[in-house]
Amino acid sequence: MRRIVVGITGGASGVVYGVRLLETVRKYSSNTEVHLVISGTAVDIMRHELGISKEHVRNLVDKVYDENELGGAPIASGSFKHDGMVIIPCSMKTLASIVHGITDNLITRAADVTLKERRKLILVIRETPLNLIHIKNMELATLAGAVVMPAAPAFYNRPRTIDDMVNFIVGRVLDLLGIENDLYNRWSGYSEDAT
Ligand SMILES: Cc1cc2nc3c(=O)[nH]c(=O)nc-3n(C[C@H](O)[C@H](O)[C@H](O)COP(=O)(O)O)c2cc1C
Protein backbone atom coordinates (compact mmCIF):
# COMPACT_ATOMS: atom_id res chain seq x y z
CA MET A 1 0.00 0.00 0.00
CA ARG A 2 1.29 3.43 -1.01
CA ARG A 3 0.03 6.61 0.60
CA ILE A 4 0.37 10.11 -0.83
CA VAL A 5 -0.75 13.56 0.28
CA VAL A 6 -1.94 15.99 -2.40
CA GLY A 7 -2.38 19.72 -1.91
CA ILE A 8 -4.13 21.90 -4.49
CA THR A 9 -3.66 25.64 -4.08
CA GLY A 10 -4.77 28.68 -6.03
CA GLY A 11 -1.78 28.84 -8.34
CA ALA A 12 -4.27 30.18 -10.87
CA SER A 13 -4.29 28.79 -14.40
CA GLY A 14 -3.14 25.47 -13.11
CA VAL A 15 -5.71 23.62 -11.00
CA VAL A 16 -6.22 21.36 -14.03
CA TYR A 17 -2.87 19.73 -13.19
CA GLY A 18 -4.02 18.84 -9.68
CA VAL A 19 -7.35 17.49 -10.84
CA ARG A 20 -5.68 15.38 -13.58
CA LEU A 21 -3.29 13.92 -11.01
CA LEU A 22 -6.25 12.82 -8.90
CA GLU A 23 -8.01 11.42 -11.98
CA THR A 24 -5.02 9.31 -13.03
CA VAL A 25 -3.10 8.25 -9.93
CA ARG A 26 -5.37 5.30 -9.14
CA LYS A 27 -5.33 4.14 -12.76
CA TYR A 28 -1.59 3.57 -12.52
CA SER A 29 -1.39 2.61 -8.87
CA SER A 30 -4.62 1.08 -7.58
CA ASN A 31 -3.08 0.47 -4.16
CA THR A 32 -2.35 4.18 -3.57
CA GLU A 33 -4.28 5.87 -0.78
CA VAL A 34 -4.76 9.58 -1.55
CA HIS A 35 -5.22 12.25 1.12
CA LEU A 36 -6.25 15.60 -0.36
CA VAL A 37 -6.38 19.14 0.95
CA ILE A 38 -7.59 22.02 -1.23
CA SER A 39 -7.25 25.72 -0.45
CA GLY A 40 -10.29 27.99 -0.55
CA THR A 41 -8.77 29.92 -3.47
CA ALA A 42 -8.25 26.68 -5.39
CA VAL A 43 -11.94 25.79 -4.94
CA ASP A 44 -12.90 29.17 -6.47
CA ILE A 45 -10.44 28.71 -9.34
CA MET A 46 -11.61 25.14 -10.01
CA ARG A 47 -15.10 26.52 -10.49
CA HIS A 48 -13.83 29.33 -12.76
CA GLU A 49 -11.28 27.42 -14.88
CA LEU A 50 -12.79 23.95 -15.02
CA GLY A 51 -16.45 24.44 -14.07
CA ILE A 52 -16.24 21.80 -11.34
CA SER A 53 -16.87 21.83 -7.60
CA LYS A 54 -15.04 20.29 -4.65
CA GLU A 55 -17.52 17.39 -4.86
CA HIS A 56 -15.99 16.30 -8.16
CA VAL A 57 -12.57 15.74 -6.63
CA ARG A 58 -13.93 14.42 -3.34
CA ASN A 59 -15.03 11.29 -5.20
CA LEU A 60 -11.54 10.68 -6.58
CA VAL A 61 -9.70 10.35 -3.27
CA ASP A 62 -9.80 8.41 -0.02
CA LYS A 63 -9.85 11.40 2.31
CA VAL A 64 -10.36 15.11 1.74
CA TYR A 65 -9.63 17.80 4.31
CA ASP A 66 -10.43 21.46 4.61
CA GLU A 67 -7.41 23.78 4.66
CA ASN A 68 -8.47 25.05 8.10
CA GLU A 69 -8.83 21.56 9.54
CA LEU A 70 -5.48 21.63 11.37
CA GLY A 71 -6.34 19.89 14.62
CA GLY A 72 -8.39 17.00 13.28
CA ALA A 73 -6.32 15.92 10.27
CA PRO A 74 -3.73 13.15 10.62
CA ILE A 75 -1.59 14.66 7.81
CA ALA A 76 -0.79 17.57 10.17
CA SER A 77 1.43 15.25 12.19
CA GLY A 78 4.73 13.56 11.43
CA SER A 79 3.33 10.42 13.02
CA PHE A 80 1.18 9.98 9.89
CA LYS A 81 3.41 7.97 7.57
CA HIS A 82 3.24 8.58 3.84
CA ASP A 83 5.28 8.15 0.68
CA GLY A 84 5.35 11.75 -0.46
CA MET A 85 3.40 14.97 -0.77
CA VAL A 86 2.78 16.95 -3.93
CA ILE A 87 1.31 20.44 -4.08
CA ILE A 88 -0.07 20.85 -7.58
CA PRO A 89 -0.34 23.65 -8.46
CA CYS A 90 1.60 25.39 -5.72
CA SER A 91 1.01 29.14 -5.56
CA MET A 92 3.87 31.53 -4.90
CA LYS A 93 2.07 32.42 -1.69
CA THR A 94 2.05 28.82 -0.47
CA LEU A 95 5.69 28.38 -1.56
CA ALA A 96 6.63 31.49 0.46
CA SER A 97 4.76 30.23 3.54
CA ILE A 98 6.42 26.81 3.37
CA VAL A 99 9.99 28.08 3.03
CA HIS A 100 9.52 30.58 5.88
CA GLY A 101 7.96 28.04 8.21
CA ILE A 102 4.54 29.70 8.31
CA THR A 103 2.27 26.74 8.91
CA ASP A 104 -1.03 28.50 9.32
CA ASN A 105 -3.14 26.14 7.23
CA LEU A 106 -3.24 22.38 6.65
CA ILE A 107 -1.40 22.53 3.32
CA THR A 108 1.61 24.42 4.67
CA ARG A 109 1.60 22.41 7.90
CA ALA A 110 1.52 19.08 6.02
CA ALA A 111 4.35 20.32 3.78
CA ASP A 112 6.38 21.45 6.79
CA VAL A 113 5.90 18.04 8.41
CA THR A 114 6.87 16.29 5.17
CA LEU A 115 10.17 18.22 5.10
CA LYS A 116 10.95 17.67 8.77
CA GLU A 117 10.36 13.94 8.42
CA ARG A 118 12.65 14.00 5.35
CA ARG A 119 9.92 12.72 3.08
CA LYS A 120 9.49 13.67 -0.56
CA LEU A 121 7.85 17.05 -1.21
CA ILE A 122 7.09 18.09 -4.80
CA LEU A 123 6.02 21.68 -5.48
CA VAL A 124 4.52 22.19 -8.93
CA ILE A 125 4.66 25.93 -9.38
CA ARG A 126 2.92 27.93 -12.08
CA GLU A 127 4.04 31.50 -12.31
CA THR A 128 5.76 33.51 -15.01
CA PRO A 129 7.79 35.64 -15.16
CA LEU A 130 9.52 35.18 -11.81
CA ASN A 131 10.72 37.89 -9.47
CA LEU A 132 13.73 37.57 -7.15
CA ILE A 133 11.48 36.69 -4.20
CA HIS A 134 10.04 33.71 -6.12
CA ILE A 135 13.52 32.57 -7.17
CA LYS A 136 14.98 32.89 -3.66
CA ASN A 137 12.02 31.02 -2.22
CA MET A 138 12.52 28.21 -4.74
CA GLU A 139 16.19 28.10 -3.76
CA LEU A 140 15.21 27.77 -0.09
CA ALA A 141 12.69 25.05 -0.89
CA THR A 142 15.33 23.12 -2.82
CA LEU A 143 17.87 23.52 -0.01
CA ALA A 144 15.25 22.24 2.45
CA GLY A 145 14.85 19.08 0.37
CA ALA A 146 11.80 19.82 -1.79
CA VAL A 147 11.64 19.24 -5.54
CA VAL A 148 10.51 22.42 -7.29
CA MET A 149 8.85 21.49 -10.55
CA PRO A 150 7.64 24.29 -12.82
CA ALA A 151 4.52 23.38 -14.78
CA ALA A 152 6.37 23.85 -18.05
CA PRO A 153 5.21 21.30 -20.63
CA ALA A 154 7.75 20.05 -23.17
CA PHE A 155 7.32 20.05 -26.93
CA TYR A 156 9.71 17.25 -27.92
CA ASN A 157 6.79 14.84 -27.52
CA ARG A 158 4.78 16.87 -30.06
CA PRO A 159 1.66 17.61 -28.02
CA ARG A 160 -1.48 17.99 -30.12
CA THR A 161 -3.97 18.95 -27.43
CA ILE A 162 -4.06 20.77 -24.11
CA ASP A 163 -4.70 17.37 -22.57
CA ASP A 164 -1.37 16.14 -23.95
CA MET A 165 0.40 19.08 -22.29
CA VAL A 166 -1.36 18.55 -18.96
CA ASN A 167 -0.61 14.82 -19.10
CA PHE A 168 3.08 15.53 -19.66
CA ILE A 169 3.33 17.46 -16.40
CA VAL A 170 1.21 14.99 -14.45
CA GLY A 171 3.18 12.05 -15.88
CA ARG A 172 6.43 13.67 -14.74
CA VAL A 173 4.94 14.11 -11.24
CA LEU A 174 3.94 10.43 -11.17
CA ASP A 175 7.52 9.61 -12.23
CA LEU A 176 8.83 11.59 -9.25
CA LEU A 177 6.44 9.72 -6.97
CA GLY A 178 7.78 6.45 -8.36
CA ILE A 179 4.49 5.52 -10.08
CA GLU A 180 4.94 3.83 -13.46
CA ASN A 181 2.80 5.49 -16.12
CA ASP A 182 2.42 6.02 -19.85
CA LEU A 183 0.71 9.41 -19.64
CA TYR A 184 3.19 11.01 -22.04
CA ASN A 185 5.56 10.02 -24.82
CA ARG A 186 9.10 9.72 -23.53
CA TRP A 187 12.04 11.04 -25.49
CA SER A 188 13.38 8.39 -27.82
CA GLY A 189 15.67 10.42 -30.05
CA TYR A 190 15.11 12.86 -32.89
CA SER A 191 12.42 11.80 -35.36
CA GLU A 192 13.20 11.60 -39.08
CA ASP A 193 9.86 12.88 -40.43
CA ALA A 194 10.67 16.59 -40.84
CA THR A 195 9.21 18.25 -43.94
C1 LIG B 1 -6.27 36.21 -11.82
C2 LIG B 1 -5.27 35.60 -10.85
C3 LIG B 1 -4.23 34.86 -11.36
C4 LIG B 1 -3.28 34.30 -10.49
N5 LIG B 1 -2.29 33.53 -11.02
C6 LIG B 1 -1.38 32.95 -10.21
C7 LIG B 1 -0.37 32.11 -10.75
O8 LIG B 1 -0.33 31.83 -11.93
N9 LIG B 1 0.55 31.61 -9.90
C10 LIG B 1 0.53 31.87 -8.56
O11 LIG B 1 1.42 31.37 -7.86
N12 LIG B 1 -0.44 32.65 -8.00
C13 LIG B 1 -1.39 33.19 -8.79
N14 LIG B 1 -2.39 33.98 -8.27
C15 LIG B 1 -2.35 34.32 -6.86
C16 LIG B 1 -2.95 33.29 -5.92
O17 LIG B 1 -4.23 32.90 -6.32
C18 LIG B 1 -3.00 33.94 -4.51
O19 LIG B 1 -1.67 34.17 -4.07
C20 LIG B 1 -3.73 33.13 -3.49
O21 LIG B 1 -3.74 33.87 -2.29
C22 LIG B 1 -3.10 31.77 -3.27
O23 LIG B 1 -3.68 31.18 -2.15
P24 LIG B 1 -3.42 29.67 -1.73
O25 LIG B 1 -1.98 29.38 -1.95
O26 LIG B 1 -3.81 29.60 -0.31
O27 LIG B 1 -4.32 28.86 -2.60
C28 LIG B 1 -3.37 34.52 -9.10
C29 LIG B 1 -4.45 35.26 -8.60
C30 LIG B 1 -5.40 35.77 -9.46
C31 LIG B 1 -6.56 36.51 -8.88
The Cα 87–Cα 148 span in angstroms is 10
User: Residue 18 has what pLDDT?
Assistant: 96
- The fold of the 2-176 domain, in CATH, is Rossmann fold (3.40.50)
Report which residue type is found at 76: A
Q: Is the CB of 7 under 6 A from ligand 1?
A: no
Ligand 1 site-directed mutation target among 8, 43, 47, 93, most atoms within 8 Å of CB: 93
| Beta-bridge partner residues of 4 | 34
Where do the domains of the chain lie?
2-176
Give 5-57 pLDDT, tens digit per residue.
Answer: 999 998 767 899 999 999 999 899 999 999 999 999 999 999 999 998 888 99
| C-alpha closest to that of 34 among 70, 51, 59, 52 | 59
Atom of ligand 1 nearest to the CA of 39: 27
For range 156-175, the mean pLDDT: 95
For atom 21 of ligand 1, the residue with the nearest CA is 93
Q: How far apart are the first and last CA of the chain?
A: 48
The whole-model pTM stands at 0.95
